[in-house]
Structure formats: C-alpha cells, structure tokens
Amino acid sequence: MVHIEFLGPMNKESLDMEASTLQDVAERLNQDDEVKAWLQTCAVAVNDMLVSSLDTPLNPGDKISLLPPVCGG
C-alpha cells in the first residue's frame, strides 16, 4: 500500500492504494475527473524525491506527493 497526498490548491483528501509503479497510480488517478485535470501539470515526488518516469517502482509504505505548479512573488 502506498500513500498519495495532493498538495496545494488540489484540495483533495489523501488516499492509500496498492501500486507497484507510478503507472499504476496514474491509471487510477486518471479515473477521477477532478484529479485528472491536474496530472499533466503536477510534479511528482516519491518519498520527497522528484521523479519523472511512470516506470518508477514503488514499495509498500512509499509516499507519493502531487505538487501542482505555484506562482509567487
């Protein structure tokens, strides 16, 4: 089981799911229209390390963070 957190303005409750790669997570999250809109622009971190490949392997207990773009001054 991995833990997925949605940061910033995504305003969605965290969830836990079974997944062996980020591809598994992406497939599940693409079924949620609210989250799907964010997926193309979010950075993704696994255990606080930014990753870019959906082939990234996951282990039980991993934390996946979806980081939407922000602007500031």
Q: What is the pLDDT of residues 23-69, one digit of tens each?
A: 999 999 999 998 998 888 999 999 999 999 999 999 999 999 999 98
Q: What is the pTM of this model?
A: 0.88
Sheet holding 63-67, edge to edge: 15-17, 2-6, 63-67, 43-46, 49-51
Which residues neighbour 42 within 8 Å (Cβ) at sequence distance 6 or greater?
66, 67, 68, 69
CATH topology of domain 2-67: Ubiquitin-like (UB roll) (3.10.20)
φ/ψ (deg, to 5) at 72: -150, 180
